[in-house]
Amino acid sequence: MQRVLNIFVIGGFLFTSLALNQPNAAAQSGTTASPEPISGSVVCPPNVYTSAPEGCLPLGPSEYLTQIAASGIPYPIPQLPAYSPPVLLNETQYRYFKVVPRGAPLFASLEDAVSNQPSSRLDPGTELYVSYVDGPIATNQGEAYYQLRSGYWIPAEGGRLGQFDPLFQGLEFSSQPRYAFGWVLGTVRTRTAPGLNSPETGDSLHRFNIVQIYTTQTASNMIWDLIGPDEWVDARQVAAVKPHTTAPTGVTGNRWIEINLFEQTLSVYENNHLVFATMTSTGVAPFYTRPGLFQIYEKKPSETMSGSTEADRSDYYYLEDVPWTMYFDENRALHGAYWHNRFGYPNSHGCVNLSVGDAHWLYDWASLNDFVYVYDPSGKTPVDASAYGAGAP
């Protein structure tokens, strides 16, 4: 019996076939005969086959690729045409110091601080940040003080330096993305199929990981995103961007900013193409960011913001040198937020909070009168103007 082993490589995959040539009658009689041809069909090169090809069998890798293509994932899987903005955008001329919630005395000079003769006081509050130019300066009494940009001196005791860690920045785009994409909001395990009862893949995603979203399905009364072959994630765990190619109604020209309140994302369009996207933090209930179409009416490289909404001022905040501020709806503004890192979740009194680097990018790109379109695809945000005040950070 003759055995013939054929080995060949297609698309990086190794295939083998074993053909058996059984002795025929001519061979048994000692006469010469032509070899019996090897039977069977050739396996197709790895690809997606939506219909039966001629001359080959779409098995092995091709069968798998065709299956995942039917689920919504193309072959080859396209790369997200995105890149990171310069890290230097995170740098500012300001240095921040977080004051303890009980507030602090303010001194006109270091000598006044040493002799404990305050000129004013920073009231107690939930978020108290000052911008300093010098310090900490230690005195002979063993105490230390920071000198603020306002000229006052403030005790260093109990406070801490403002930090931007971990750093977060959005994405710039070289061309229009083909699929939706988003940032993972926290640590989450992926599943092999949509639904809470589906097996886990064994893989985990973490905050700020970027995923492409090829399709969505509803299962277990939840929406699930397909982010890879046989890999699904709860859509609530992703702050998603669905790129658009047409401007919102009312926008004239080809430049606009979109803020998706449901996804907590911001997208920037120029020439009807996405050029930048990131996560944001908009207003918490009942201080929603108001849906509607607005225009940037003022730009300020920095702004001091303060206020409270409660009668007892228990929610008082004071934020010096808020960077890259762009007002678009009364006191509601797009601006950098150095005091938190909760991007992807509502966290403001109506303003649109961005990381310092993202706010810097947007400030450089935006012009006065550029359109800002705020919307909530879930329909949960009030649209009645009477539900809104002037807004705040």
What is residue 21's predicted lDDT score, i.e. its pLDDT? 43
Beta partners for 95? 132
pLDDT of residue 35: 52
Q: Give the per-residue pLDDT at 55.
A: 84
More confident call, 124 vs 160: 124
- 320 Cβ contact list (under 8 Å, min separation 6): 94, 96, 129, 130, 131, 148, 149, 150, 304
Residues 60 and 22 in one domain: yes
Quick one: average pLDDT of 272-296? Answer: 97
Domain membership of residue 147 (yes or no) is yes
Rg (CA), the chain: 31
Lowest average pLDDT, out of 32-46, 171-185, 365-379, goes to 32-46
What is the structure's pLDDT at 41?
A: 75
User: What's the pLDDT band for 107 if we cut at 50, 70, 90?
Assistant: very high
Residue 11 domain-assigned?
yes
Kindly report the average pLDDT of the chain as a whole number: 88
Instruction: Look at residue 293 and tell me if it is in a domain.
Output: no
Mean pLDDT across the stretch 349-369? Answer: 97
Q: In the predicted model, what is the mean pLDDT of residues 262-290?
A: 97
Q: What is the mean pLDDT of residues 291-303?
A: 98
Rounded mean pLDDT, 361-370: 98
- 172 pLDDT tier (thresholds 50, 70, 90): very high
Alpha-carbon gap, residue 31 to 20, rounded angstroms? 20
pLDDT: which is higher, 28 or 312: 312
Q: Which residue has the tokens 């108290």?
A: 128
Between 365 and 308, the more confident residue is 365
Q: Is it the case that residue 36 has pLDDT exceeding 70?
A: no
Whether the per-residue pLDDT at 17 is higher than 50: the answer is: no
Domain boundary (158, 187, 207) is at: 158
Last residue of a domain, one of 196, 223, 241: 241
pLDDT band at 197 (very low <50, low <70, confident <90, very high): very high
Contact 278, 266 (CB under 8 A): yes
Q: Residues of the chain with pLDDT > 70: what percent?
A: 89
- pLDDT greater at residue 180 or residue 62: 180
Q: Is residue 390 part of a domain?
A: no
Q: Which domain holds residue 154?
A: 100-158
Q: How far is CA 340 from CA 88, 164, 167, 226, 355, in A?
A: 19, 8, 11, 30, 9
Pairing of strands 273-279, 265-270: antiparallel
Comparison of pLDDT for 57 and 270, the residue scoring more:
270
Q: Which residue matches tokens 């929610």?
A: 315
Strand-pair partners of 252: none
- CA dist 91 → 117, 287, 299, 336 (Å): 35, 30, 19, 11
pLDDT at 166: 65
Q: What is the pLDDT of residue 163?
A: 63
Tell me if 277 is assigned to some domain: no
| pLDDT tens figures, 43-53 | 898 888 888 88
Instruction: Print the SS3 string covering 9-49.
Output: EECCEEEEEEEEECCCHHHHCCCCCCCCCCCCCCECCCCCC
Lowest mean pLDDT among 27-31, 90-94, 230-234: 27-31
193 and 152 within one domain: no
Give the domain CATH number at 182.
Answer: 2.30.30.40
Residue 148 included in any domain: yes
Number of compact structural domains in the chain: 3
Whether 289 maps to a domain, the answer reads: no
Tens of pLDDT, residue by residue over 205-215, are 999 999 999 99
More confident residue, 21 or 246: 246
pLDDT of residue 165: 59
Residue 5 has pLDDT above 50, yes or no: no
- Other C-beta atoms within 10 Å of 188: how many? 18
Per-residue confidence (pLDDT) for residue 61, from 0 to 100: 84
- Both 153 and 183 in a single domain? no
Q: What is the per-residue pLDDT for 289?
A: 97
- Nearest-CA neighbor of 269 among 358, 370, 123? 370
Percent of the chain residues past pLDDT 90, beyond the cut = 71
66, part of any domain: yes
